[in-house]
């Protein structure tokens, strides 16, 4: 796996454990009907720069919707951590690859990079705009040479699809150009992706719940509610709220190390805070009600190690382990490494 895909602590992991050219993970699925602890399938993913998404897709396709609802266990090679934190991180890495602009599948929304929409076609947009504004006599002269058909590229080959029955023989003129543009847009954004969208919807529904319950589930939600559940809150992270939901083990709230820690966090940019939170919990965006809506409180553990040791985390338990650093400057340097320097 390339360094651009790996975030946070994996920047160190690649060089130390995998020599920068591969990354391994073990994944197991369990069948509810056969009982907990009975694997239906087990496989090892060897992730390389251009194979990780395909390998994960092939692996997941072997499981049934029932087995997936019972849980997915992910373990990264050369790491002891298991559980939901690791699973969240694995999904995060896979989603980064799927939504990478280089894949040309989706583009990030300019106003909110966490939202994505199908890759638009600016050339087609400009073309439609020109046709709509052209002089009527020019369009009627058939200078454009257009019919009610759409030509596009799919998997490396050119395809021609009629926008309506007999579309190949219907010439675009000043009277029907508006209908032509409407049908063109309809095909581009609805009909051409209908099958893909249907597959996505079925897959989403299979994992979410039994089909009979889906209608009841969605009827109880407004669009904004579902949006907030999926995306989390985009509001700024409150350090005061963060402190209020953090417990200490081995340290006391007024110990120098804890005071230094929060002083560094206070001085971080919002991006750095999110990277630190992700390193700690595998969560970058908090639920609607902030830290109080996480599954458990965050905790900081004390460990007797030298200034050369970086903080470590167990994301499944929201546990951050911090050595007894000798000064504020050492604390700041090491926290910035895990929250910004490797992101």
Question: Which residue is it, tokens 């073990």?
Answer: 26
pLDDT score for 6: 28
Q: pLDDT tens, 126-150?
A: 888 899 889 999 888 888 889 999 9
CATH fold, domain 122-189, is Hect, E3 ligase catalytic domain (3.30.2160)
pLDDT score for 112: 66
Tokens for 234, please give them: 């985009």
Q: Is 310 exposed, middle or buried (0-12, 13-18, 19+ CB in 10 A)?
A: middle
How far CA 51 is from CA of 5, 98, 123, in Å, comes to 12, 12, 31
pLDDT score for 25: 43
Tokens for 183, please give them: 């049908």
pLDDT score for 120: 63
CATH fold, domain 239-341, is Hect, E3 ligase catalytic fold (3.30.2410)
Task: Report, as ranges of residue numbers, the positions in the chain whose pLDDT lies below 50.
Answer: 1-50, 341-343
Residues constituting the chain: 343
pLDDT score for 157: 75
Residue of 17, 32, 164, 316 marked active site: 316
316 is known as an active-site residue? yes
Same fold, 122-189 and 239-341: no
CB 296 within 8 A of CB 244: no
pLDDT score for 322: 96
pLDDT score for 111: 65
Helices (H), 99-193: 122-133, 136-140, 177-189
The strand ranges marked E within the chain are 23-30, 39-47, 72-76, 106-109, 112-118, 149-154, 157-162, 246-249, 298-303, 312-314, 319-323
Domain ranges for the chain: 1-103, 122-189, 239-341
pLDDT score for 267: 94
pLDDT score for 259: 97
pLDDT score for 48: 40
pLDDT score for 22: 38
pLDDT score for 261: 97
């Amino acid at each position: 796996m390339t360094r651009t895909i790996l975030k946070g602590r994996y920047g160190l992991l690649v060089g130390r454990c995998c020599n920068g050219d591969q990354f391994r993970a073990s994944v197991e699925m369990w069948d509810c009907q056969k009982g907990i602890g009975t694997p239906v399938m087990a496989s090892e993913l060897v992730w390389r720069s251009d194979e990780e998404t395909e390998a994960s897709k092939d692996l997941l396709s072997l499981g049934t919707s029932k087995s997936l609802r019972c849980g997915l266990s992910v373990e990264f090679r050369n790491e002891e951590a298991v559980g939901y934190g690791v699973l969240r991180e694995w999904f995060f890495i896979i989603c980064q690859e799927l939504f990478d602009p280089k894949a040309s599948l989706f583009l990030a929304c300019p106003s909110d990079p966490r939202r994505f929409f199908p890759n638009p076609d600016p050339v087609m947009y400009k073309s439609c705009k020109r046709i709509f504004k052209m002089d009527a006599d020019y369009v009627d002269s058939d200078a454009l040479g257009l019919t009610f058909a759409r030509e596009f590229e799919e998997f490396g080959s050119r395809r021609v699809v009629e926008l309506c029955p007999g579309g190949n023989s219907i010439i675009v003129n000043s009277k029907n150009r508006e209908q032509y543009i409407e049908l063109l847009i309809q095909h581009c954004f609805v009909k051409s992706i209908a099958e893909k969208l249907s597959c996505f919807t079925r897959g989403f529904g299979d994992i979410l719940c039994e089909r009979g319950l889906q209608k009841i589930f969605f009827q109880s939600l407004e669009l904004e509610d579902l949006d907030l559940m999926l995306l989390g809150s985009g509001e700024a992270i409150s350090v005061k709220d963060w402190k209020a939901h953090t417990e200490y083990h081995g340290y006391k709230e007024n110990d120098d190390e804890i005071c230094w820690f929060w002083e560094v966090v206070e001085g971080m940019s919002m991006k750095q805070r999110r990277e630190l939170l992700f390193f700690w919990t595998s969560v970058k965006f908090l639920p609607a009600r902030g830290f109080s809506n996480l599954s458990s409180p965050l905790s900081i553990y004390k460990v007797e190690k030298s200034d050369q040791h970086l903080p470590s985390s167990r994301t499944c338990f929201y546990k951050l382990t911090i050595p007894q650093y000798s000064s504020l400057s050492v604390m700041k340097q090491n926290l910035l490494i895990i929250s910004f320097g490797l992101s």
